[in-house]
């Protein structure tokens, strides 16, 4: 009997413990529910939001991946272009083909009015790109001639007539695209040195066609120059201060040019020659004489004669202060014709001496022995009489 009573007591204690634990568990769950309801009313903290988002994403990985990809795409998308204003004028496009190595930095295209008389001015210009293409924007409506021009050249290299332009349109004339100029333009590198082989500091190199018309000019700096040659072999004319004139025919590519120094010579009147009285003065001019003996072709001779004829240093005055001799730097060794005139210093009027012109062969120069200028007294008196007569 006592043993049964003890067993009942143990069972009662276990049952009481289980009931107490169950009630405690229910109370804890109720407190958690109340705390959750309160957290929905209160504004959540950033950390709480991130933790819940992370928890939600962790429950659905595919959805999380889609959201991440959409976010990255939105960030990488460029902003929309601003609205473009309506373009005014038209645009003309084209391109050229040249031989390999032809520099295009001295070439450009220009649009000129088709009906404009000479000399015509460009309405629009554009440089050539390295690949030979070009683009002219903002062209007004009308008819134009398109010209490919070389810097410092008096004439265009290539011309396309009657290109029509409309407002707001791109002109793509087939005559302007892929124009083949291979073999037309040739690159030419010049090396210009003095008699000692040193580079000439500065000068001008000009190229002429065989008809004497200038094609282009380039500046020589530190003995170097680059040029573009157009057409058949040309005539090269190199001018540099302190050096003799240089003209060469048949230039069609790279050249090395050696310039010699100016030819220094003295000229003086004959000792028995008398000068005109004041206010008259004796003027002297040396004119180069060219012929077949100079070894120049007709084109080179014409160009050299024209250039030397414009050199002011070949003209000088003779008065009592310098009748003993005048020293000149001649640009060309050869024959010179002596032209004498009487000038009225006050009015500037001149009368040439009627006597036959004297010729001097200025090749072998001796500074100590000047070239003697002959003066015909009768011709001098006749010129002075003509000058004294009123006009």
Minimum mean pLDDT among 130-134, 222-226, 235-239, 258-262: which range? Answer: 258-262
- pLDDT at residue 267 tops 70: yes
Q: What is the DSSP letter of 365?
A: -
- pLDDT at residue 19 tops 80: no
Whole-number Å distance between alpha carbons of 51 and 325: 109
Beta strands 158-165; 142-150: pairing state: antiparallel
Q: Are 95 and 158 in contact (CB under 8 A)?
A: no
Domains of the chain: 90-180 (2.60.40.1120), 185-258 (2.60.40.1120), 263-388 (2.60.40.10)
pTM of the model: 0.60
| Higher pLDDT pick, 78 / 387 | 387
Per-residue pLDDT of 192-208, as tens digits, reads 999 899 999 999 999 99
Count of C-beta atoms within a 10 Å radius of residue 263: 16
Cross-strand partners of 257: 192
Whole-number Å distance between alpha carbons of 226 and 220: 8
DSSP string of 269-316, one letter each residue: E-TT--PPPTTEEEEEEEEEE--GGG---HHHHHHHHHHHTT-GGGEE
Mean pLDDT score across all residues of the chain: 79
- pLDDT at residue 358 tops 80: yes
The arithmetic mean of pLDDT across residues 121-150, rounded, is 90
**How wide is the angle at C-alpha 116 spanned by C-alphas 111 and 120, nearest 5°?**
60
pLDDT at 367: 55
Q: Phi first, then psi: what are they for 41, rounded to 5°?
A: -80, -40
Length in residues, the chain: 391
Count of C-beta atoms within a 10 Å radius of residue 135: 14
- pLDDT at residue 70 tops 70: no
Per-residue pLDDT of 154-194, as tens digits, reads 888 999 999 999 888 888 889 999 999 988 888 899 999 99
Please report which residue ranges of the chain form alpha helices under DSSP H: 2-41, 46-59, 61-76, 298-308, 377-388
At 53, the pLDDT band (50, 70, 90 cuts) reads: very low
């Amino acid at each position: 009997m006592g043993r049964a009573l003890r067993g009942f007591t143990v069972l009662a204690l276990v049952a009481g413990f289980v009931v107490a634990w169950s009630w405690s568990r229910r109370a804890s769950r109720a407190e958690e529910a109340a705390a959750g309801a309160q957290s929905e009313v209160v504004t959540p903290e950033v950390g709480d939001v991130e933790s819940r988002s992370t928890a939600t994403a962790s429950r659905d990985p595919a959805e999380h991946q889609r959201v991440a990809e959409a976010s990255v795409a939105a960030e990488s998308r460029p902003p929309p272009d601003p609205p473009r204003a309506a373009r005014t004028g038209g645009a003309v496009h084209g391109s050229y083909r040249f031989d390999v190595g032809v520099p295009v930095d001295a070439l450009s295209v220009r649009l000129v009015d088709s009906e404009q008389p000479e000399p015509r001015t460009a309405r629009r210009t554009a440089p050539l790109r390295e690949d030979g293409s070009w683009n002219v924007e903002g062209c007004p409506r009308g008819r134009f001639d398109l010209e490919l021009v070389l810097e410092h050249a008096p004439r265009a290299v290539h011309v396309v007539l009657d290109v029509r332009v409309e407002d707001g349109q791109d002109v793509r004339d087939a005559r302007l695209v892929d124009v083949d100029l291979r073999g037309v333009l040739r690159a030419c590198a010049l090396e210009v040195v003095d008699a000692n082989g040193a580079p000439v500091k500065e000068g001008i190199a000009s190229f002429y066609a065989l008809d004497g018309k200038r094609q282009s000019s380039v500046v020589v700096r530190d003995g170097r120059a680059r040029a573009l040659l157009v057409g058949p072999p040309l005539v090269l004319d190199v001018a540099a201060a302190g050096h003799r004139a240089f003209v060469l025919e048949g230039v069609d590519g790279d050249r090395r040019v050696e310039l010699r120094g100016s030819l220094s010579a003295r000229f003086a009147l004959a000792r028995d020659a008398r000068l005109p009285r004041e206010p008259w003065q004796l003027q002297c001019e040396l004119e180069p004489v060219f012929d077949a003996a100079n070894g120049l072709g007709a084109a080179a001779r014409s160009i050299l004669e024209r250039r030397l004829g414009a050199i002011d240093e070949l003209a000088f005055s003779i008065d009592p202060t310098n009748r003993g001799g005048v020293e000149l730097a001649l640009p060309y060794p050869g024959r010179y014709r002596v032209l004498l005139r009487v000038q009225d210093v006050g009015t500037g009027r001149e009368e040439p001496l009627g006597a036959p012109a004297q010729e001097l062969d200025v090749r072998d120069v001796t500074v100590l022995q000047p070239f003697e200028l002959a003066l015909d007294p009768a011709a001098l008196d006749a010129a002075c009489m003509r000058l004294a007569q009123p006009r």
